[in-house]
Amino acid sequence: MKQKVLLMGRSGSGKTSMRSIIFANYVAQDTSRLGATMEVEHSNVRFLGDLVLNLWDCGGQENFMNNYFESQRGHIFRGVKVLIYVFDLDSNDHRQEVKYFKDCIQALSENSADAQIFALLHKMDLVPEGKQASTRDEYEKEVRTIANPFSVECFATSIWDETLYRAWSTIVHQLIPNSQRIETMLEQFRSVCEAEEVVLFESATFLVISQAASTSHPDVHRFEKISNIVKQFKLSCAKSQAQCDEMVVRNASFTAFVHRFTSNTYVMVVTTDKAILPTATAVNIGIAKAHFEKTLSATGATAESSA
């Protein structure tokens, strides 16, 4: 089942850079050599089971944007599941950005009234630290007013930290139709393993799909930090023609197991009880694979039946 995702924003807002980091294993330093997107670039990203993200990266040059809202209006905005609109916080023409966003909302209301909308307040790293909170609040208020009656979720993002992964993980999580079932299964699995936390990652992007924990954690960006670490380790392995199927990180406080889990996922299991043998955790992971494979492979079918 394909889910149409529009990625829109003015030219230079950072759309192609973030797409390349999330889906093409770029690192932030390498995005400077990317060229501007011309018209619309289509890519199909198989995520879980038969769930495919049909990503439309729409070039943001003025003539392209005008075409999207005029001659290509129905083609672009019909059948949209998600609109991700990228606001450039470093832009010197805020009025034009707002105008384009208003045009997107109007076009969606005519063609895809049930679409979900996410606004990425991008390049937050270029906003002085003392003004970041107020800048975010001002943008969120304006964006939500414009988007009404659509609801919109806003994220402050940067390619230089974990915020970009957090935003995209949240977006993708909401596209998974049986996410509640997956969360329930993860909590049951965590309980059986007597683990403090279990996290499920998509294998290609290492975006967080779901998690279960016995206690809250003070670091809200820990999943994204782990994603970055493991993803870079996988890339290093690939360069030496090695494959990363599992890794174990252990210190005096915890043991973390990262294993290839199903055909589309990795799982991380974190334990703190030294009485729990690593082999027992590995056996539990192996036993759980078949159950999760069945549920995750049904994702696309569930999405199609609910469409």
Report the share of the chain in percent with pLDDT over 70: 95
Decide if pLDDT at 134 tops 80: yes
Mean pLDDT of 242-267: 88
Q: Which of 57-71, 186-200, 220-234 has the lowest mean pLDDT?
A: 220-234
Mean pLDDT of 42-67: 84
pLDDT of 175 reads 85
pLDDT of 307 reads 46
Summarised one tens digit per residue, pLDDT across range 116-127 is: 999 999 999 999
pLDDT of 183 reads 92
pLDDT of 36 reads 64
Summarised one tens digit per residue, pLDDT across range 90-125 is: 998 999 999 999 999 999 999 999 999 999 999 999
Summarised one tens digit per residue, pLDDT across range 136-183 is: 999 999 999 999 999 999 999 999 988 998 899 889 888 887 888 999
H/E stretch holding 42: strand 40-48
Confidence of residue 267 (pLDDT cuts 50, 70, 90): very high
**Nearest alpha carbon to residue 4 among 39, 64, 44, 60:** 44
| Contact indicator for 163, 127 with CB cutoff of 8 Å | no
Kindly report the number of other CB atoms within 10 A of residue 134's CB atom. Answer: 10
* Per-residue CA distances from 29 to 7, 18, 123, 239 (Å): 22, 12, 14, 18
- pTM of the complete model: 0.85
- Mean residue pLDDT of the chain comes to 88
Which of helix, strand or coil describes residue 161? Answer: coil
DSSP 8-state secondary structure symbol assigned to residue 36: P
| Contact indicator for 83, 68 with CB cutoff of 8 Å | no
Confidence of residue 29 (pLDDT cuts 50, 70, 90): confident
Q: What share of the chain is helix, strand, coil (3-state, %, to 5)?
A: 45, 25, 30
pLDDT of 232 reads 77
User: Per this entry, what is the length of the chain?
Assistant: 307
118: tokens are: 């996410």
Helix axes 278-297, 299-306, angle to 10 degrees: 30
Kindly report the number of other CB atoms within 10 A of residue 74's CB atom. Answer: 11
pLDDT of 193 reads 94
Q: Which of 45-59, 203-217, 289-303 has the lowest mean pLDDT?
A: 289-303
| Contact indicator for 282, 259 with CB cutoff of 8 Å | yes
Mean pLDDT of 246-275: 91
Summarised one tens digit per residue, pLDDT across range 205-242 is: 888 888 999 988 888 778 878 887 887 787 788 778 77
pLDDT of 306 reads 44
* Per-residue CA distances from 77 to 25, 160, 268 (Å): 28, 31, 38
| Contact indicator for 281, 257 with CB cutoff of 8 Å | yes
Specify the pairing of strand 197-202 against strand 265-271.
Answer: antiparallel
Radius of gyration for the alpha carbons in the chain, expressed in angstroms and rounded: 20
82 burial via Cβ count (<10 Å: 0-12, 13-18, 19+): buried
Q: How far apart are CA 275 and CA 81, in angstroms?
A: 47
Contact residues for 176 (Cβ-Cβ < 8 A; gap 6+):
47, 48, 51, 182, 209, 299
pLDDT of 108 reads 96
Summarised one tens digit per residue, pLDDT across range 6-20 is: 999 998 898 988 888
